[in-house]
């Protein structure tokens, strides 16, 4: 397991809050009550740049949580040693993480959506057993369902000509079968979904750049 895989994100800092180093973060956990016992957290910075540039470096910083409280569907965090607005600004955009080993225990029929990373995704909506690709990331936002970032091959005839990324909602209506032990996710997607808001592959980016 890589170092990145050993941590999971439970919040994302979006802005400073107050004048004494507090920050406001979007919650990315179903167990916000556990902030009461989580005194050691990690801030992963550079994630926004890394999504645009695969060679960008990330840095992880260990922080002691002094206080926290909930405000307007967000969590406000006050870390030891972060005592001014300028200190807090350094954390904006960071992902607040915990070691994977410290995640809350789940029931036998439950799982973490982040565990889908690495799973092969197939689609039976248009073609039985069609392989879309492999889950590279899970994105959480303001929508009802998380988005799976799936990386697949671009095939021209019998030749693989590049890579393509797809954003697919992890919605109950699309899920056929989840087999985490086999790292496999079977879905049934409506026609045209894979063409909606899909990130550009390298070839498409080059064509778009030439047009501009």
* Tens-place pLDDT, residues 49-81: 344 444 456 889 999 999 999 998 899 999 999
- Encoding tokens for residue 158? 């019998």
Dihedral pair phi/psi, residue 113, rounded to 5°? -60, -35
- Of the two residues 129 and 139, the one the predictor is more confident about is 139
Alpha-carbon distances, residue 149 vs 115, 122, 134 (angstroms): 13, 14, 8
Residue 184 to residue 136: CA distance in whole angstroms: 13
Per-position DSSP letters for 111-176, written without gaps between them? --GGGGTT-EEEE-SSSTTEEEEEEEEEE--SSSS-EEEEEEEEEETTEEEEEEEEEEE--GGGEE
Question: What pLDDT was estimated at residue 105?
Answer: 84
Q: Is the pLDDT of residue 109 over 60?
A: yes
**pLDDT for the residue numbered 207:** 45
d(CA 173, CA 14): 31
3-class DSSP assignment, residue 26 = strand
pLDDT mean over 5-32: 91
pLDDT of residue 63: 97
Q: What is the pLDDT of residue 128?
A: 66
Looking at residue 107, what is its pLDDT?
Answer: 79
For residues 13 and 22, the answer to whether their CB atoms sit within 8 Å is no
pLDDT average, residue stretch 76-89: 96
Name every residue whose Cβ is closer than 8 Å to that of residue 79 and which is 6 or more positions away in sequence. 21, 23, 41, 63, 64, 65, 66, 91
Question: Residue 152 has which token pair?
Answer: 């697949």
């Amino acid at each position: 397991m890589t170092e990145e895989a050993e941590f999971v994100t439970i919040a994302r800092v979006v802005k400073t809050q107050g004048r004494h180093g507090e920050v406001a973060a979007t919650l990315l956990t179903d167990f916000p009550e556990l902030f009461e016992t989580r005194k050691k957290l990690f801030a992963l910075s550079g994630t926004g740049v890394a999504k645009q540039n695969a060679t960008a470096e990330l840095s992880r910083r260990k922080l002691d949580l002094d206080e926290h409280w909930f405000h307007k569907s967000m969590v406000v965090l006050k870390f030891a040693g972060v005592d001014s607005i300028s200190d807090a600004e350094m954390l904006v955009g960071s992902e607040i993480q915990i070691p994977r080993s410290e995640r809350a225990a789940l029931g036998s029929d439950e799982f973490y959506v982040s565990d889908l990373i690495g799973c092969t995704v197939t689609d039976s909506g248009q073609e039985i057993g069609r392989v879309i690709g492999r889950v590279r990331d899970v994105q959480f936002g303001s929508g009802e369902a998380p988005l799976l970032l799936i990386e697949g091959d671009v095939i021209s005839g019998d030749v693989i000509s590049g890579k393509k990324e797809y954003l697919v909602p992890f919605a109950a209506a699309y899920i056929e079968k989840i087999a985490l032990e086999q790292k496999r996710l079977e879905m049934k997607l409506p026609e045209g979904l894979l063409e909606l808001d899909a990130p550009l592959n390298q070839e498409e980016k080059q064509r778009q750049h030439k047009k501009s």
